[in-house]
Amino acid sequence: MELKQLRGLGPARLALLQKAGIETLYDLLMVLPVSYRDTTRVTPIQDLEPGAFCCVQGKLKDAPKASYYGGKSRATAAIEDDTGSLSLIWFNQPWVAKSYAAGQELLFSGVPERDKQGRLRMYSPKRETEQKLIPEYRSIAGISSAVFSKLMAQALTMLEACCPETLPAEMRQRYGLCERNFALRQIHQPESREMLQIAQRRMAFEQLLLYQAAMSLLRGMPGQAQPLSISKKTGDAYWRSLPFPPTGAQARVFEEIRSDLNKSTAMRRMVQGDVGCGKTAIAFAAMYCCAQAGRQSALMAPTEILARQHLESARNMLEPLGIRCGLLIGGMKTKERREALEAIRTGQWQVVIGTHALLSEGVEYHDLSLVITDEQHRFGVEQRHKLSLKATEGLEPHVLVMSATPIPRSLALILYGDLDISVVDELPPGRTPVKTHIVPESKREGLYDFIKKQAKEGWQTYIVCPLVEESEAIEAKSAQDVYAELCNGPLSTLRLGLTYGAQDAAEKDKTLSAFSQGGLDVLVSTTVIEVGVNVPRATVMVIENADRFGLSQLHQLRGRVGRGAQESWCFLLAEPNERLKALCATNDGFEIARKDLELRGPGEFLGTAQHGQGAFALLAGNGRLIAETQQCLKWLKDDPLQVEAWQMVLSSAQALFHAQLKKTVLN
């Protein structure tokens, strides 16, 4: 059914929805809430906890007052109940001053936080007019949350016509699952928390099951590859050429890869390991063996600066062994690109390192047999197809995916069901664990003094912020504001740089290069530096509003420092809580991943909750559900009486595969 049937949806809004991937009523209904505001539970003011969402109810002591500064506004008020009073602050919402009156009984929701003086405040509180579970959806540019909610309410009236059942009745009965349309109604308009949990379990079960079925379809199509006939002696020769012996984990994982490369079916393997475990050395070992077999390999990195760093490492490690390496990136000049394409086509370069430019039209490989992707970059189906066309006709390249995001194995088997998984669970000797501390606002000045002392000794600092620029909706430090504040204040004597994701590519590369080459003392950034930059002289990581990040993301950011024997620190600017204390207690990425999964659920842990879809936004760390769906899949495939049910699931899985997997998890 078409979206244009909805009232209030003109051509402009329709185009915005389509740009966000919502083209039908079915697409709209499958945009599941990323979270819920529970306004049924009111917290007494004396029991408020910093950083925890809550609702407060009471009377305004006075009418809100608005003040103006630098073209911006700030409205303030105080609400009180029987246990105390709380300051409310709205930025750039001057109309608030005229919206409420002294003595008015009101209900507000928000996240209380401490200011620089340690006083509890609620910034940008939202007035609630009903006490219920209110769904919150991912933001869509140009469409307000109020408009989106109205569109969703209309779509729900047409639910029966556009969302058919996907699971057979016998399966639903066997596993205690409600009907799909009941689940969708409760997810978008929950009657109670109990009904919501029943609905979420149904949708999580369905999407996990269909995802695994789609993965089994993908895995069931192995491509033919060129076996490379690599002997153990070849691998040993590579490891002997390095200044350090491989760890036991490196040696084990390499043997798994060597075995794959010797087969006539294309390798599809993910090497998963914590920051600094030596995955790059394993990748170069595979590329060395590929070259020794007379074949060509390519390594794809997510950023140009990381691709250049890999090239430098490859030249140090592989070129002394007689292997010629080269670079292909998007920002090359015409003559440089032409020469690179020729070196790739003729096989002059046995190892090609680059960005997505490796997949672009006009790139013709001499004999591509191995492709490696680094740092959370996975090949989607379309990308695999492009690469298979670049390999020898009729054959696929062996594919190796490197991931520095530790994921509990049970979840990894679901997420990466089309890949074999190797885990590098051992760090090389000589790495000094990063010391992690929580720093309250009251100790900020002391932290700046420490940064200045480190800079004086020649060491560098990252300062990471959750936002690029100031937001009316979120009270958090923005990179631009922090950069300006530090340049004109506490760190004005140091050399500072600023970078963020939407920054001009040339300016971003210039800033990152300056920092990596020691031209800057402090780099203020968003999480754009989470992947890729290797700066050995960076010993301090400061994370603003650390409570706004997941543990696994904090661990990734922490991994940007402590990359050698030099003592390094990670400072979390936030109020202490259970999650942050867990990070301070260990440097083990897999242990942190398990804790993050337990506390936040896979939706936020894997970064998929922002899509508002997928089982992982609903699982809430339920390992039992993973086991149940695996058991269900086996039952459907093995029981001859379930042929019709299995075909129904496969049909639904294919639809999910084409509509969702290519867009999200696989790309």
* pLDDT of amino acid 76: 93
* pLDDT of amino acid 336: 93
- C-alpha distances (whole Å) from 590 to each of 22, 314, 377, 441, 587 are 36, 28, 19, 30, 9
pLDDT at 564 over 50: yes
State the Cα–Cα distance between residues 290 and 558, nearest whole angstrom: 34
Across residues 439-460, what is the average pLDDT? Answer: 91
**Average pLDDT over all residues of the chain:** 83
What's the per-residue H, E or C state across 351-372? Answer: EEEECHHHHCCCCCCCCEEEEE
* Residues pairing with 438 in the sheet: 572
State the Cα–Cα distance between residues 508 and 173, nearest whole angstrom: 55
Please count the other Cβ atoms lying within 10 Å of the Cβ belonging to residue 180.
19
Stretch among 243-252, 359-368, 473-482, 554-563 having the lowest mean pLDDT: 473-482
Question: For 435-586, which CATH superfamily applies?
Answer: P-loop containing nucleotide triphosphate hydrolases (3.40.50.300)
What confidence category does residue 413 fall into, taking pLDDT thresholds of 50, 70 and 90?
A: low
pLDDT at 651 over 90: no
Stretch among 114-118, 410-414, 560-564, 590-594 having the lowest mean pLDDT: 410-414
Across residues 120-143, what is the average pLDDT? Answer: 88
pLDDT at 664 over 60: no
Closest CA to 209 of 182, 232, 186, 180: 180
For 595-606, how does the pLDDT look when each residue is reduced to its tens digit (9 = 90+)? Answer: 766 665 444 444
* pLDDT of amino acid 304: 81
For 419-438, how does the pLDDT look when each residue is reduced to its tens digit (9 = 90+)? Answer: 778 888 887 777 778 899 99
Residue 158's SS3 state is: coil
User: pTM for this structure?
Assistant: 0.65
Across residues 364-387, what is the average pLDDT? Answer: 72
pLDDT at 166 over 60: yes
Confirm whether 232-262+277-403 and 435-586 share one CATH topology: yes
Stretch among 10-14, 18-22, 476-480 having the lowest mean pLDDT: 476-480
For 217-236, how does the pLDDT look when each residue is reduced to its tens digit (9 = 90+)? Answer: 766 666 788 899 899 999 99
Stretch among 76-85, 350-359, 497-506 having the lowest mean pLDDT: 497-506
Listing DSSP states for 514-579 in one string gives HHHTT--SEEEE-GGGGSS---TTEEEEEETTGGGS-HHHHHHHHTTS--SSS--EEEEES---HH
Question: Please, what is the Cα angle at 544 between 75 and 492, to 5 degrees?
Answer: 90
What confidence category does residue 418 fall into, taking pLDDT thresholds of 50, 70 and 90?
A: low
Residue 61 contacts residue 80 (beta carbons within 8 Å) = yes
Q: What would the two tokens of residue 245 be?
A: 């012996």
State the Cα–Cα distance between residues 515 and 512, nearest whole angstrom: 5
What confidence category does residue 620 fall into, taking pLDDT thresholds of 50, 70 and 90?
A: very low
The upper half-sphere exposure of residue 186, i.e. CA atoms within 13 Å in the direction of its Cβ, equals: 19
Residue 370 contacts residue 285 (beta carbons within 8 Å) = no
Across residues 149-171, what is the average pLDDT? Answer: 90
Residue 345 contacts residue 366 (beta carbons within 8 Å) = yes
Domain extents in the chain: 41-127, 232-262+277-403, 435-586
Residue 62 contacts residue 102 (beta carbons within 8 Å) = yes
For 252-298, how does the pLDDT look when each residue is reduced to its tens digit (9 = 90+)? Answer: 999 999 999 999 988 888 888 877 788 889 999 999 999 999 999 99
Closest CA to 573 of 606, 548, 607: 548
pLDDT at 572 over 80: yes
C-alpha torsion angle, residues 583, 586, 589, 590 (rounded to 10): -110
Q: What would the two tokens of residue 431 be?
A: 């790495």
Residue 122's SS3 state is: strand
Pairing mode, strands 398-403 and 368-373? parallel
pLDDT at 179 over 50: yes
* pLDDT of amino acid 610: 35
* pLDDT of amino acid 665: 36
pLDDT at 307 over 50: yes
Percent of the chain with pLDDT over 70: 86
pLDDT at 122 over 60: yes
pLDDT at 125 over 50: yes
- Assigned CATH for 41-127: 2.40.50.140
Closest CA to 623 of 611, 614, 631: 631
CATH of 232-262+277-403, one of 3.40.50.300, 3.30.428.10, 3.40.50.1970, 1.20.1250.20: 3.40.50.300
